[in-house]
Amino acid sequence: MMYYNNYWGMDFIWWCAWIIMLLWIFAVPYNIPGQRNKKDSPLDVLLKRFAAGEIGKEEYAERKKLIEIEMIRES
């Protein structure tokens, strides 16, 4: 016996599973939930800004000192 009208049966579930899997692979951004990403510390952000030339040497030293003092207070 052949079933021609089985689209809404198990075939429908498999098509949905394939579509969801393909969307997951190609459409989900690289920052997948559950992935552990290291957050940049304030000193890392400051160093990146200094390396990019956004701030000068004096401003870097001053802000670094303030961040280190604040870190000592918190611990």
> What is this structure's pTM?
0.49
Q: Are 66 and 46 in contact (CB under 8 A)?
A: no
Q: How far apart are CA 39 and CA 32, in angstroms?
A: 15
Q: Which residue has the tokens 């579509």?
A: 19
Q: Which residue has the tokens 């498999």?
A: 14
Read off the pLDDT of residues 3-46 as tens digits, 9 standing for 90 and up.
565 555 667 788 889 899 888 888 766 666 666 667 788 999 99
Q: Are 60 and 46 in contact (CB under 8 A)?
A: yes
